[in-house]
A = this chain, B = another copy of it.
Amino acid sequence: MSATTKPEAAAGWKIRGARPEDWPGIWAILEPVIRAGETFTWDRDITEDEARGRWFKQAPGQTFVAVDAGPDDGDGGGAGGRGGGDRTEGAVLGTGELHPNQGGGGSHVANAGYMVHPAQAGRGLARALCAYSLEAARDAGFRAMQFNAVVESNVRAVAAWKSMGFEVLATIPEAFNHPELGYVGLHVMYRKL
């Protein structure tokens, strides 16, 4: 974890494996992001059941959540929403998943995805989820991590993953039809573990 990412205790969250009962909190974060269609290459009209089946991964993959660590987190005075005064201990603030990017001879390279509650933006949570996934992937025996489709216009995400050691190996031209920007590229990003 880099020097600019707050340790979990100071940041006020705890990252752990997701449980079935976390789903409503996860879906509350996923749904608006998927419906907006600006950063994720999922069908925007996916049903909740399909999304749950897709987000919850089986071993060697896994799904995890960042939950609010409660009032003792030392960071209760942040911006509004779940970052601010209405925080609830155990509330899902962000989520991530990792899984093999390919099968067979390609199964030693992991892929991962993350989503963060808008109220948590700018607090380092996406980077913390990424760091968690890198460690978890390493522990599960993966040798590298690859993102297949990072939307070029999602500059904050691109910068975050670069700061976590990923490099852009290629940009697939005009591979993403952004609802407002039109056709933009999709980055293939990669780092060894």
Contacts and interface: CB of A to CB of B under 8 A. Distances in A.
Interface of A: 34, 37-38, 40-44, 46, 101-109, 143-144, 146, 148-149, 151, 169-179, 186, 188, 190
Contacts of A149: 102, 106
A148 to B, nearest CB: 7
A59 to B, nearest CB: 14
A175 B144 contact: yes
Nearest to A177: B105
A169 to B, nearest CB: 4
B43 A178 contact: no
Contact of A178 (B103, B105, B174): B105
25 contacts: A37-B104, A40-B104, A41-B103, A41-B104, A41-B106, A42-B104, A43-B103, A43-B104, A43-B107, A46-B103, A102-B175, A102-B176, A106-B149, A106-B176, A106-B177, A109-B172, A109-B175, A144-B174, A146-B172, A146-B175, A169-B170, A169-B172, A172-B188, A172-B190, A188-B188
A106 B147 CA distance: 14
Contacts of A41: 102-107
Contacts of A101: 175
A106 B170 contact: no
A30 to B, nearest CB: 13
Contacts of A103: 41-43, 46
A35 B179 CA distance: 42
Contacts of A46: 103
A105 B151 contact: yes
Contacts of A108: 177
A104 B44 contact: yes
Contacts of A102: 41, 148-149, 175-176, 186
